[in-house]
A = this chain, B = another copy of it.
Amino acid sequence: MRNRRPAPRTARASAQGAGNKRARRHTAGGGYARGEHTRQRLLEAGIELFAELGYERASTRAIARHAGVSLPALQYYFGGKEGLHRACAEYIMEDVRSRLGPAAERVRLALERSDLTRAQLLELLRAVVEPFLEGLATDRPESWALFFARVQGEHNAAFEAIFEQIGRRLLATAIEIVSRILGLPAASPEVTIRSVFIVGQLTLVRRARPIMLRTLGWTDFEGERLQTLKEVVWKGITSSLSPGPKASQ
């Protein structure tokens, strides 16, 4: 509710799709590759600052300065702050999808068969869960996972629109597998809740990372320590899915 001028001098903003979606008309016509560079710089700077400071505190000026371009470039290429944020989310999501998509597809395909053993189902769950865990525990492209975590916390438009697209799939796959392992209908509360927890644990790795590291006296989750983390997490998941000894209660 900040930039709603009562009477904009020109009608350009309102004539261009509410002023925030799709403002770049440069990639449409071919050529003019020069701008693509600054566009990229803006994306990277955006991801970094949004991740570090959150949506509100990351000012467009700081982002532009960080990218080494002028402020209006941001409006020009992304139509505004929200547009940039959205683009950042899509950029990350695209990368995540390209890295996790194949595995997910393979799992979904394998799930077609109805004669899978418990061990096989667990293996499929692991195949879809483990890359995620690695991506969130590690901080290789620190800002990416952080950006992810931010978007989750703030209820931006980017969340519902983008995160859902990948979170839902992951959850749906988890539900399918858990349902079959436990031998319960996919719609049953038990299956849903447990699946949400399994998927949620992954994001928890990111959120609780500093606390975990501090408590353990570690500095990161790399190499052997990452293996340990994965092992413990996985052991927890499998045993929580075991038909094993009735919980003492």
Interface residues of A (CB under 8 A from B): 54, 56-57, 118-119, 122-123, 126, 150, 152-154, 167, 171, 175, 187, 189-190, 192-194, 196-197, 200-201, 204, 207-208, 211-212, 215-217, 225, 228-229, 232-236, 238-240, 242, 244-245, 247-249
Instruction: Please state if A122 and B248 are interface contacts (CB–CB under 8 Å).
Output: yes
Which residues from chain B contact A189 at a C-beta distance below 8 Å? Answer: 216, 225, 228-229, 232
Which residues from chain B contact A245 at a C-beta distance below 8 Å? Answer: 239, 242, 244
Which residues from chain B contact A244 at a C-beta distance below 8 Å? Answer: 239, 242, 244-245
28 contacts between A and B (CB under 8 A): A54-B56, A118-B248, A119-B248, A122-B248, A126-B249, A153-B153, A167-B211, A175-B215, A187-B217, A189-B216, A189-B228, A192-B212, A193-B212, A193-B228, A193-B229, A193-B233, A194-B232, A200-B204, A200-B207, A200-B208, A235-B247, A236-B240, A238-B247, A239-B245, A239-B247, A242-B244, A242-B247, A244-B244
Instruction: Please state if A234 and B247 are interface contacts (CB–CB under 8 Å).
Output: yes
A200 and B141 alpha carbons, distance in the complex (Å): 24
Which residues from chain B contact A167 at a C-beta distance below 8 Å? Answer: 211
Instruction: Please state if B196 and A215 are interface contacts (CB–CB under 8 Å).
Output: yes
CB contact under 8 A between A197 and B193, given known A122-B249, A239-B244, A247-B239: no
Instruction: Please state if A197 and B204 are interface contacts (CB–CB under 8 Å).
Output: yes
A228 and B196 alpha carbons, distance in the complex (Å): 15
Given contacts A126-B249, A152-B153, A193-B212, 9 further A-B contacts (CB under 8 A): A119-B248, A192-B216, A193-B216, A194-B232, A194-B236, A196-B211, A196-B215, A197-B233, A240-B240
